Structure 1
Amino acid sequence: MELHAVPDLPEIRPGDDIATLVADRATLEPGDVLTVASTIVSKAEGRTANLEDYPVSGRAKEIASRIEDVAGEEKDPRFAQAVLEESTELLIDCPFLLTETRFGHICVNAGIDRSNVPDHDILLLPRKPAESAERIREGLAARGHEDVAVIVTDTCGRPFRHGQRGVALGWAGMPASRDWRGEVDRDGHELGVTVQSVVDELSSAANLVTGEAADGTPAVVVRDWEFGNLEGSDELFRDVEDDLVRQALREWRFES
């Protein structure tokens, strides 16, 4: 497998066509996977905002005040309000905000970013990353680059581990995972639970190339990777009924 960053992408502005910008700078082949950082997708879709755009509710004031007391530093209730408006569920409200976004991704602060946003205060995640990925894929096909899968990626932390890694928010042109259940290992034991999250693994691999901070390489072409003959699935985000961790968090409250 090879991974190559798409070079010389400009600062993305609202209305920019990511498919065209990538097609003009990258050599794409059938079977390639294009990973695109959610930051530039959000910028192209005009998902920037200013904190003054968020009238503060009592709930946001309460959250900001409580986190401020624990952290010992001032917290802006307008940011808490933005997180609430981008979320369908608040799983942890102190000492940080862990939320479910409107498309099912669970992350800190609803994935709202405050870095690399030159003209606004904050950058929101794409509204519907799967639809964003499909639009980019269709745009590439219209420019002669057919059979290229697209993954919209982000970085987030993991429970029980330090550091962040790349994850998939939306994808098009490929399944999210490949299902090893029913296959056998080298000793002949049948696998009963192994489902491999391929879009997350490719997102993490691409993040090694895109880097962080000021690297400025938000799109990566993955080549010579094959899904194989296994069954695929588009299930990635756990249903609440099957998510024991989320159920436990609903019963938990932080005590300082």
Structure 2
Amino acid sequence: MELTPVADLPEIRPGDDIAALVAERVDDDLEPGDVLTVASTIVSKAEGRTADLEDYPVSGRAQEIADKIGELTDEEKDPRFAQAVLEESTELLIDCPFLLTETRFGHICVNAGIDRSNVPGHDLLLLPKRPSESAERIRQGLEDRGVEDVAVIVTDTCGRPFRHGQRGVAIGWAGMPASRDWRGERDRDGHELEVTVQSVVDELSAAANLVTGEGAGGTPAVVVSDWDFGDLEGSDELFRSVEDDLVRQALREWEFDG
């Protein structure tokens, strides 16, 4: 497998055509079966998902959250940011010492994935509203330019429970299944696999994140080539349902005692 950053992409602005910008730079290098990973940051910028803190009138709940976290950390917290997180979420799983939320498309992350860095001219950068639809638009845009059978993954960087550090994950995808199902296959000792479902979109996102980099030198798009999904069954299930998520059920009963 080979991962190649898409070099020299400009600062993305609202209305920019990501497919066109990528195709101009790697058209000859994209082959059927390749995967293009695109950071949610530039997808959000192209879709105009910027905001300012003054856009969010503060509710009583947001003020309560800001006061609670501020008291714990001995730092003043802006209730407008808490309000933005609430408005981008369908459920607040943890409200202290940080905000863990479910986004409107099912992704669970800190602060609804709202970014406060690399947002020229604005305070906040929100995640795409429907990242899989965003991925499909980019994929279709590549097809319109003669680049066919290329899958697209919209990625984000977030932390992990039980581990330090962040890694890339998929929040949207098009042109490929999210996972491949190993259940029913045999291991090296002949035992049947009963639970193994491999989240390939997350694994490709993490691999791409190794070469995109972070900070000012980051590159927001990567071409993954010489990779094959294989002949296993695929599935688009990625985000656990509430009924199937024991951790979320436990968090609903948990309260922070600082």
TM-score range, shorter chain: over 0.9
Shift of 1:118: 1.1
Q: Which residue of 2 aligns with 1:177?
A: 179
Deviations 1:207-231 (A, max 9, x none): 0010111123100000000000100
- Aligned position for 1:113: 115
Aligned length: 256
Q: Give the TM-score normalised by structure 1.
A: 0.99
Letter in 1 for 2:101: T
Shift of 1:128: 0.1
Cα deviations across residues 165-189 of structure 1 (Å, max 9, x unaligned)?
0000000000000000000001000
Provide the residue aligned with 2:101 in structure 1: 99
What corresponds to 2:3 in structure 1?
A: 3
- Does residue 160 of the first structure (1) align with residue 136 of the second (2)? no
Is residue 70 from structure 1 mapped to residue 58 from structure 2 by the alignment? no
Q: Hey, what's the Cα distance between the residues in 2 that align with 1:64 and 1:139?
A: 42
- Which stretches in structure 2 are left out of the alignment for 5+ residues? none
Find the counterpart in structure 2 of residue 219 from structure 1: 221
Of 221, 246, 249, 1:244 maps to 246
Identify the residue that residue 19 of structure 2 maps to in structure 1.
19
Q: Does 1:36 align with 2:38?
A: yes
Note the C-alpha offset of 1:43.
0.1
> Structure 1 counterpart of 2:70, which letter?
E
Moved more, 207-216 or 9-18: 207-216
The one-letter code matched in structure 1 to 2:10 is: P
State the superposition RMSD in angstroms.
Answer: 0.4
Q: Distance in 2 between matches of 1:161 and 1:103?
A: 24
Matched with 2:136 is: 134
For 2:195 and 2:165, how far apart are their aligned partners in 1? 27
Mapped to 2, the partners of 1:89 and 1:154 lie a distance apart of: 19
Q: Which amino acid aligns with 1:133?
A: A
What is the rounded CA distance, in whole Å, between the counterparts of 2:215 and 2:84 in structure 1?
23
| Cα distance in 2 between the residues matched to 1:163 and 1:216 | 17
Q: SS at 2:167's partner residue?
A: strand
Aligned counterparts of 1:214 and 1:114: Cα–Cα separation in 2: 14
- Letter in structure 1 aligned against 2:88: E
User: How far apart in 2 are the matches of 1:191 and 1:214?
Assistant: 43
Q: Secondary structure at the match of 1:214?
A: helix
Alignment identity in percent? 85
Distance 2:34 2:174 in 1: 12
1:196 Cα deviation (Å)? 0.2
Instruction: Tell me which stretches of 4 or more aligned residues in structure 1 moved more than 3 Å.
Output: none
| Partner residue, 2:47 | 45
Which secondary structure does the structure 1 equivalent of 2:239 belong to? coil
Q: Aligned AA for 1:255?
A: D
Summarize deviations over 1:72-129 as a string: whole Å, max 9, x none.
1111000000000000000000000000000000000000000100110000000000
Partner of 1:206: 208
Deviation track 1:32-68 (CA, whole Å, cap 9, x = no partner) reads 1000000000000000000000000000000000000
Match of 1:25, SS?
helix
Partner letter of residue 22 of structure 1? Answer: V
In the TM superposition, residue 31 of structure 1 has moved relative to its aligned partner by 0.8
